[in-house]
Amino acid sequence: MLILVTGGAGFIGSHIVTAFIAAGHEVRVLDALLPAAHRTAPPVPEGVDWRHADVRDGEAVADALRGADAVCHQAAMVGLGKDLTDAPDYVSCNDLGTAVLLAGMAGSGVRRLVLASSMVVYGEGRYECSRHGTVRPGPRRVADLEAGHFEPPCPGCGEPLAAALVEEDAPADPRNVYAATKLAQEHLAAAWARAAGGRVAALRYHNVYGPGMPRDTPYAGVASLFRSALARGEAPRVFEDGGQRRDFVHVRDVADANLAALDGLDGLPEGGSRAYNVGSGELHTVGEMAAGLAAAYGGPAPVVTGEYRLGDVRHITASSQRLRAELGWKPQVAFADGMTEFAAAPLRAG
């Protein structure tokens, strides 16, 4: 099978390309090499059909789609960004880029799509109140965060909440611009599938980490920011109180999830779309991750700053049971092993 991987030179995309080649597929890569992720041109694996072009370029997309059997859409501007002035770039890269790609697929006859989505579409995770059951916290308030009150209270009674796992059928509640663009990508892809008779698997990645993450960029994930600090000889700076719960999943496991989703597309009906959470199933706080990474690196211990970003969420951990049960995927890299490897792995210039 010939697979077009958009963003295939990026952190996650490059690992997906490696997994697809190892599985015997032919791979074509289209990547704009945006400066936020690429300071220098990345190496191109042997046998890969390389296209240096932007997914917003309709002619380049149409050319890249010729002869393709499926598309794995990874190209995106990622991370929370710096402030709201990033919004036009996020919408252009993520949503316009996806629309141009889908229009090209509609015209080319390519009907299989694996889409890189994100757990950020949920906003805050799932919470349980002892009195009111499952509840959705309201927006975070600056006054609470300034006072160091980071845990969201029950909107009904104000009592503390217990965090729980989110499943794919939970309501979407994007709480920053990046999250809104990822949800829009899912909606665009579902609309394309219905109109064109296509099939879509949307993979909602959790906190992905591993070798090859870009360093020293505000657009990278928190694992990369901590690893970059350690490489500079600095202590990782942990926001809030470090108690934010996340699921850190290794990039090779994410690549394997893309391969499983590609293989599973034919099991969907024509016009169908299906979302899958992609997480390790091991839940850790951001503070625990920073401490584990610093210990493995042999660097200074993390510093808990109490700082915050209003667009962040407190807890978001999700169940990946659907992906395991329906597509037979299972993560292979344990948290401790992954952090030990990541501590010594090279980062790419960002």
Parse the chain into domains and list their residue ranges. 2-125+166-344
- Label residue 183 by pLDDT band (50, 70, 90): very high
What pTM does this model have?
A: 0.94
Q: Which of 110, 2, 97 is nearest to 48 (CA)?
A: 2
Q: Which of 8, 2, 4 is nearest to 255 (CA)?
A: 8
> What is the average pLDDT across 105-114?
97
Pull the structure tokens for residue 175: 């709480």
What pLDDT does residue 38 have? 73
Sheet holding 272-278, edge to edge: 49-52, 26-31, 2-6, 70-73, 112-118, 199-205, 272-278
What pLDDT does residue 160 have? 93
Q: Are 67 and 2 in contact (CB under 8 A)?
A: yes
What pLDDT does residue 219 have? 64
pLDDT tens readout for residues 210-253: 999 988 776 678 899 999 999 999 999 999 999 999 999 999 99
CATH of domain 2-125+166-344: 3.40.50.720
What pLDDT does residue 311 have? 77
- Given CA atoms 111, 112, 118, 123 in this order, what sign does their dihedral have? positive
What pLDDT does residue 253 have? 98
Pull the structure tokens for residue 24: 């015997």
Q: Round the average pLDDT of the chain to a whole number and report it.
A: 93
Question: Hey, how many other C-beta atoms are within 10 angstroms of the C-beta on 83?
Answer: 11
What pLDDT does residue 80 have? 65
Q: For residue 262, is pLDDT > 80? A: yes
Of 27-31, 203-207, 321-325, 345-349, least confident by mean pLDDT is: 345-349
Q: For residue 111, is pLDDT > 80? A: yes
Pull the structure tokens for residue 6: 């958009």
Q: For residue 144, is pLDDT > 90? A: yes
What pLDDT does residue 81 have? 61
Which residues are tagged catalytic? 178
CA distances from 307 to 69, 151, 153, 223 (A): 47, 14, 19, 17
- Label residue 171 by pLDDT band (50, 70, 90): very high
Share of the chain above pLDDT 70, in %: 96
Q: For residue 349, is pLDDT > 80? A: no
What pLDDT does residue 175 have? 85
d(CA 278, CA 258): 10
**CB environment 46-56: b (16+ within 10 A), e (fewer):** eebebbebbbb
Q: Are 136 and 163 in contact (CB under 8 A)?
A: no
